[in-house]
Structures are given as structure tokens and as C-alpha cells.
Amino acid sequence: MSAPIEALLRPPVEYSAIATHTSLALLGIGAPQVLLLSGGVGYGLAAACSLRALWLSRRVTRLLRYQRRLRVLPTYRLHPKNLPAPKGELFLGRGFQWRTQHTQRYADTQRTEHSHFDRRGPFYHAVRTGADALAKTPLRPLIKPFNSQWLLNPFPPRPYVEGSPELHGVGLYEQETDVTLQQAERVAHTFVVGTTRVGKTRLLEVIASQDIRGGEVVIVFDPKGDGDLLARLYTEARRAGRAGEFQVFHLGFPEQSVTYNPVGSFSRVTEVASRIAGQLPNEGNSAAFREFAWRYVNVLAQVLDVLGEPINYQVLLECSTDIDALVVRYLACVAGQQQCEDWAEQVADLVASAAKMPTQYKGRDRTAWASVELFRRNALSDPTATSLIKTFEHDKSHFDKLVASLYPLLEKLTSGPVARLLSPESNPDDTTERLSWKRVIERGGIVYVGLDALSDPDVASAVGNAMFADLTSVAGSLYKDAQRGATLNKVCVHADEFNELVGREFIPLANKAGGAGFQLTVYTQTLSDVIARFDNPARAGQVVGNLGTIIMLRVKEKATAELLTDRLKEVEINHLMLDSGSTDSADPESEVHFTSSTRQRISSQRVPMIHAGDLDALPKGHAFALIAGRLYKLRLPLFSDDAELPSGLQTMVDAMCRDYVHGNVEGWAHTTPLGWQS
């Protein structure tokens, strides 16, 4: 509207005008002589009055509908088959672009004079008062088994809902539209933030369903284990004809999971040490011990790589606890490569002839010592062997203290059923399906990664970080292929409960993986979760700074809310003010004893487009989205279909729903009145 004050919260004063025009129209048709009019003129008057009454009725209907929608949250259910699929765009939900007039309207709803717009319904207080009065009468024993409010009012008051429905209602004076994100913007990555159980995972379902339908590579990390999410991904994969490309890796269900070696795939062998040492403490005095552990693992990985032996957590643990056997095998390999004849016989002779080993080798295996001695006597040269020998010659008890933090980590990753998942045997007869990111991307796969963080957060974090590091390595390889003109598949990575997964390995993935076709969408609860993960605000800022699009649901933390509000401009809103006053006459002989005046004036002030506190008042399933510098208010759909799963996967989903507590917000439908369904 063009008026500076819209006055959308006023009473519907059009009722009297509608009644008057309707009466005139009826008289003009039925009894024009009462108005001293001929029949033709009466019909004309009736037509004019009818048009005027219809126009006023439309106006008052629109006003009442707007006022009602300030109190009643709209429900929004959608079958996945009916998801909008605009070309080159990603559908997020239905809503509107938040403009200055919406800030004005929301400010109007907060004014004292408009407090009568109680979102619990106009009959709430009357019904509550009557119910309380009835409960104090002698009829109380009779009505006790029943709902006293229902006895008074068969149309019960609207249930109370969390949040402020006005935040969405102020945009419903106009028509809602589909809120979309350009697919080209997704390479700048997306940051979804909201407190627990407000709809983050449901938004993940909406976005991932469209990615699956679009034929993209989809990788979903789910640390907590949401059975509904797993069921949704499989259902959409089957609906898109891609069920054969679907893989499940879950630390909590090793029997139904594919296997994965987090350190078995690399471009450079040094990546193995980085992925393992990256899980160790890196602050204060721990940083030096972390570097010792990195060097130790790096030496082991280089030796195993040359020997052609598999590299996995189990093998690394065995080698680190029994380095003597590794020294014997590797020096024998080097001797064979450098054509040192009769190496085995020389080692056996030295072991048999030597009376005792030098003191520095106390507690070491005699065969390992003999191999080292012969390596030097034969003047053999190999940089990796030299590093291995230095590690071997280091005082064992002292070196064990230097790398003491390494052993507990490796033992966590190789204990129980998890060992089979993370350290698969290199057996040609083993038909167990294995997860390889490169193969997944090449064939256009769909992968669900469940990390069981509720049961063992340390293992979940280590595996998640290793997967991110592996993906970063694969992204580097794909980027080189892209530079040579190769066509790449888009890789849509969704990381739920992002704070459980993020580590230093994620930063290069966010910085540079866009050129390799990676599109990251990360979900977390607060900014503090990311800062606490790094224990470094600057590094956390690096991560958040690489996430271009922000979708913010209800948040409690002010610093998190300010990620959005601080990027918005201030707008100017108006207020209608009433000025009144009186002045006494100073002339005693005057017949005018005082003068009074009353006037209205419009004042304006600049305010933020939305406040940080407004984000704490969002209803469940509602969000603000900052897309390419424009602010949108949207509500998320709830899917209305049921998943049909194979028996093995159904058992797994049932167990996840039974054992894990997750953010299922199906309660939207139960706490939201059905006053307006889409």
C-alpha cells in the first residue's frame, strides 16, 4: 500500500458500509419506489451498490484473513513427488522476501494498543473463565471425566504454539511464493543453523531429495543417527531409479554397513599421518607430542607403502607396538632391491655369533638389531630405512611416552565390531562392498554415513575428520582433471551436526573444493559449537566465512543470531502519534476560558530489519534465509508419504528410531491448528 501507515490491525469498520450498500441494492431491486426511483434507475443503483459492497467485502475479508494469520500458523505438508523443480534452482520452502513493510508490520504487532490480537484465539479467555467457574459448582464431579472447556465450547480454542506466528503472518497479506536458491550459488556453500528440534534435518531431507532427483552425487553425514533421514534418502533414491547406487556406512550397525578404510586411499603417503595425527590434541604442550606422533606414523606409512602391504588402522597399531618385526621386513626388502646377496644368511649368522647386543638396543629383538647392523656394514642407502632405524634406535620407554596419545586413538578405532568396518582385510575372496569416494563420485553414487556419535563421540569424530580429509584429497585430484578439460559430476555434501565433524581438514575442502564441483551444506546449532571444536575463534571464522548462504532457524545464542542480523541494513519505520493539549485563557473578561487541540502526526525511526531476539521467536519449521544479499522468510514443508524399505534396511531404521533421540519435528502438525492448509 502507498499510505505511510497501513493500519492493518484496525477493527473491520467496513461492516456498516457493507450492510448499508447491501440494503440499498435489495431496495433498488425489490422496491425502487421506496427510494422514489423508476425500475431501470433502481436496477442501476442496485448494481452500483452491489459492486461497492463486493469491493468492501473483499477488502474486509483480506483484512480479517491477515489478522487471523497473525494468530494461526499455517501448516504445510507436501508429497515429495510434488516438490517444485524449477530449472537451475533449489526449492527451500514457501515464503516471501522480507522488506521494509514487513519490519513495519511486525513492529505494529508489538505495540501495546494491539495486544488484543491474542494468538490463542478470541474465545480463549472467555472459555477459560467459564471453565474455571463451572469447576467450582456442585457439577464438578459430573464433568470431571470430560474436558470442561469442550462442554462450554464445542469449537475449542486454538492450541498454543511456540514462537511468534506474527513473524510469518506479516507477509501473508500478499501472496506466498516458492523460495528458491540458484544452483550456481551453491558452490559458495550453505550454512544452516538452528537449535535442536526445530527442523534442520527436515530441511536436509528437502534439499537432498532434490539433489537425488537431479542425478547428483549425494553424500550425507549424520553423526547422531536419524532413522527418518536414512529412510527418506533410500526412498528418494528408489523413486529416482537410483537404488542400486545407494550405500550405507554406519558405525553402529556394522552388519548392514559397507566397509571403509579412512587411511587407505591417498594421493601422497604423508596424508596418512596427517589424518591420524589430526585427531590428537594440538594446543599448548600437546602440539610437540602431536608432531612426534605425526613423524612416527609417517615413517610407518612410508615403509608399508614400499612393502606393498595394506595401510589401515589395525596394521598401523600392530606396527607401532611391534616395530622390530617391521624393521626386519623392510631392511630385507631394501637389501633385495639393492642386490645384497645372502641377506637372510648374514642376519642369521650375526644373530648366532654375537655374544650380546649393545646396551642402547636393550629390550629389542636380536634379528632387528642384526638387520640394522648389516644395513650399515653393507653401506646400503635408503632414506625411509634411515628414518625407520632412527625410530628403532630411540630409547623405547622414552619414545613410547612421546607418542603415548597415539595408541589410545588407534585402539579406539580397532576395537570391537568397528575394527572390521575401518580395517577391512585385503582378501580377494572377500565380497563385502567397500566404500571409495573416488568410485562413488565416478559412478554418481548416494552415500549415507552414520557415525553413531551418541555412543562413541571420539571414534565418530576421528572417522568423520578422516572422511573429510579423504574427500579433500579426492577433490584435489578432480580439480586437476577439471583443469585438463574433464567433465565432473556435482558432489552435494550434507553434514548434519557439523560441529561433531569439523576439523582442520574441512578448511581446504571449503576453500578450494568448489572448483572440483563440491557443494557443501552444513548444519549446526550454534556458532559456539564450531568455536569450541577448534578452540580458536579465528579458525572457526575461517570455516564460517567460507559459507556464503545462511539459512537460520530458531537460535538461542545471540552471537549466532548476529551472524545474520549484522549483515542486514537498517530500515525506516513509521509510528502514528497522538498529540493533545489545552491552554487556559489569561483574559478574565473573555468568554473563552481555555482552548484545546488534538492532532495526529507520523514519526519515523531507523531500526534493524530484524533483531537477534526475533530469531529466538521463530516457530518450528520456520526460517530466515539470506540469499545473495536478500532476506527471505520461509516455512519448510513436511513430507506426507511413508517410506518403503527392504527388510534389512527397515530393521536398521527401526533400531535407530528406537535407540537414538533425534530432532523429529513431526510435532508441527500436532501443535499447529488446521485453520489453513496448503
Q: Where are the domains of the chain?
A: 14-69, 86-110+166-260+434-554+622-667, 266-422
CA 471 vs. chain centroid, Å, equals: 19
pLDDT of amino acid 289: 82
pLDDT at res. 342: 86
* 257 CB-contact burial (10 Å; exposed 0-12 / middle 13-18 / buried 19+): buried
CB atoms within 10 A of CB 2: 4
Phi and psi angles of residue 57, each rounded to the nearest 5 degrees, phi first: -65, -40
Nearest to 322 by CA among 332, 314, 311, 334: 314
Poorest-confidence range of 119-123, 134-138, 191-195, 425-429?
A: 119-123
452-456, 471-475, 488-492, 587-591: range with lowest mean pLDDT: 587-591
Query: When comparing pLDDT for 544 and 590, which is higher?
Result: 544
The answer on pLDDT for 360 being more than 90 is: no
Most confident of 48-52, 127-131, 463-467, 509-513: 48-52
pLDDT score at 648? 81
Residue 127 is predicted with a pLDDT of 52
Task: Kindly indicate the confidence band of residue 47, based on its pLDDT and cuts at 50, 70 and 90.
Answer: very high
The set of residues, in sequence order, having a beta carbon less than 8 Å from that of 447 and lying 6+ positions away, is 218, 219, 220, 246, 247, 248, 249, 435, 440
pLDDT of residue 249: 94
Region of 595 on the Ramachandran plot (φ > 0 left; ψ -120 to 50 alpha; else beta): beta
Say which amino acid occupies 231: A
| pLDDT above 90 (res 303) | yes
DSSP H stretches of helix in 259-321: 270-277, 286-307, 313-321
- How is residue 155 annotated by DSSP? S
| 357 Cβ contact list (under 8 Å, min separation 6) | 364, 366, 369
* Identity of the highest mean pLDDT range in 246-250, 320-324, 636-640: 246-250
Residue 399 is predicted with a pLDDT of: 78
Is residue 521's pLDDT more than 90? yes
Q: Give the integer Cα–Cα distance in Å for 48 and 39.
A: 14
Residue of 258 and 287 predicted with greater confidence: 258
Among 336-345, 350-359, 615-624, the range scoring the smallest mean pLDDT is: 350-359
Q: Of 46-50, 55-59, 474-478, 622-626, where does mean pLDDT reach its minimum?
A: 474-478
Residue 617 clears pLDDT 80, i.e. is over it: yes
Q: Looking at domain 86-110+166-260+434-554+622-667, does it have CATH number 3.40.50?
A: yes
Cell numbers at residue 519, please? 557443494
Close Cβ partners of 413 (under 8 Å, ≥ 6 residues apart): 313, 419, 422, 423, 459, 462, 463
Pick from 185, 164, 168: nearest CA to 176: 168
Kindly report the backbone phi and psi dihedral angles of residue 578, in degrees, each rounded to the nearest multiple of 5, phi listed first. Answer: -105, 120
Picking from 108-117, 171-180, 284-293, 461-470, which range would have the lowest pLDDT averaged per residue? 108-117
* Burial group, residue 669, by CB count within 10 angstroms (0-12, 13-18, 19+): middle
Write the pLDDT tens digit of every residue in 118-165: 544 444 455 555 656 655 666 555 555 544 444 444 444 454 557 888
> How do residues 250-268 score in pLDDT, each as one tens digit?
998 888 899 999 998 888 8
Q: What is the mean pLDDT of residues 356-371?
A: 83
pLDDT at 207 over 70: yes
Q: End-to-end alpha-carbon separation of the chain, Å?
A: 26
What is the average per-residue pLDDT within 373-381? 90
pLDDT at residue number 418:
85
Q: Distances from the Cα of 275 to the Cαs of 295, 468, 499, 529, in angstroms?
A: 12, 9, 18, 22
SS3 state at 164: coil
pTM: 0.84
What value does the mean pLDDT take over residues 23-50? 86
pLDDT of residue 417: 83
SS (H, E, C) 608-634: ECCCHHHHHCCCCCEEEEEECCEEEEE
C-alpha closest to that of 609 among 93, 189, 170, 199: 170
For residue 95, give the nearest of 628, 560, 621 by alpha carbon.
621
Residue 284 pLDDT grade (very low, low, confident, very high; cuts 50, 70, 90):
low
Q: What is the pLDDT of residue 532?
A: 84
- What is the phi-psi region of residue 239: left when phi exceeds 0, alpha when psi lies from -120 to 50, beta otherwise? alpha
Residue 184 has pLDDT above 50, yes or no: yes
Q: Would you place residue 405 in the very low, low, confident or very high pLDDT band (cuts 50, 70, 90)?
A: confident
In the numeric block, the cell 616395530 is attached to 323
State the pLDDT at residue 516.
86
Report the C-alpha gap between 85 and 213 in whole angstroms.
9
Mean pLDDT of the chain: 84
How much is the pLDDT for 646?
A: 85
Instruction: Inform me whether the pLDDT recorded for 169 exceeds 70.
Output: yes
Q: For residues 365 and 329, what is the distance between their CA atoms, to the nearest angstrom?
A: 13
Nearest to 620 by CA among 666, 574, 656, 588: 666
- 409-415 contacts, C-beta under 8 A, 24 or more apart: 409/276, 409/279, 409/280, 409/458, 409/462, 410/276, 410/313, 410/316, 410/317, 410/320, 411/317, 412/456, 412/458, 412/459, 412/462, 413/313, 413/459, 413/462, 413/463, 414/313, 414/314, 414/317
Which pLDDT belongs to residue 300? Answer: 93
pLDDT on residue 161: 58
What are phi and psi for residue 631, nearest 5 degrees?
A: -95, 130
Most confident of 1-15, 350-364, 543-557: 543-557
pLDDT-based confidence at 34, cuts 50/70/90?
Answer: confident
Residues 231-240 pLDDT 10s: 999 999 999 9
Which residues make Cβ contacts (< 8 Å) with residue 462, sequence separation at least 6?
Answer: 279, 409, 412, 413
What percentage of the chain reaches a pLDDT higher than 90? Answer: 39
**Gap between the Cα atoms of 95 and 540, Å rounded:** 31
Q: CA-CA distance, 260 to 413, in Å (whole number)?
A: 12
pLDDT of amino acid 593: 76
- 452-468 mean pLDDT: 85
Residue 640 has pLDDT above 60, yes or no: yes
Maximum mean pLDDT: which of 31-45, 120-134, 319-333, 458-472? 319-333
